[in-house]
Amino acid sequence: MTTTIGIYILLGILLLPIYAVVAGWLFGEPRDFRTAGIGLGVMAAMAIFMISATAMMGIVFGIISSL
């Protein structure tokens, strides 16, 4: 139950400014899809980096704790 509430809070409330920025890039005037694409690419790259760094730290901590 707590995990479900946490997911709603994370995806719904904490990421609301990101949703607003993306919507502004895509639906705002004047429409500049190049800037929106660059911004979305940067956000995607940061998300991939954070997820991979977290996974690597988990692997490292698992190796250290098994020694």
Dump pLDDT digits (tens) for 19-62: 888 888 778 887 778 887 888 888 889 889 988 999 999 999 99
Residue type, 24: G
Q: How confident is the model at residue 9 (pLDDT cuts 50, 70, 90)?
A: confident
Least Cα distance to 26 among 13, 40, 16 occurs for 40
Question: Is residue 66 pLDDT above 80, yes or no?
Answer: yes
pTM: 0.60
| CA dist., res. 39 & res. 30, Å (int) | 16
Position with higher pLDDT, 10 vs 62: 62
Query: Taking the domains of the chain in order of start, what are their residue ranges?
Result: 2-66
* pLDDT recorded at residue 2: 59
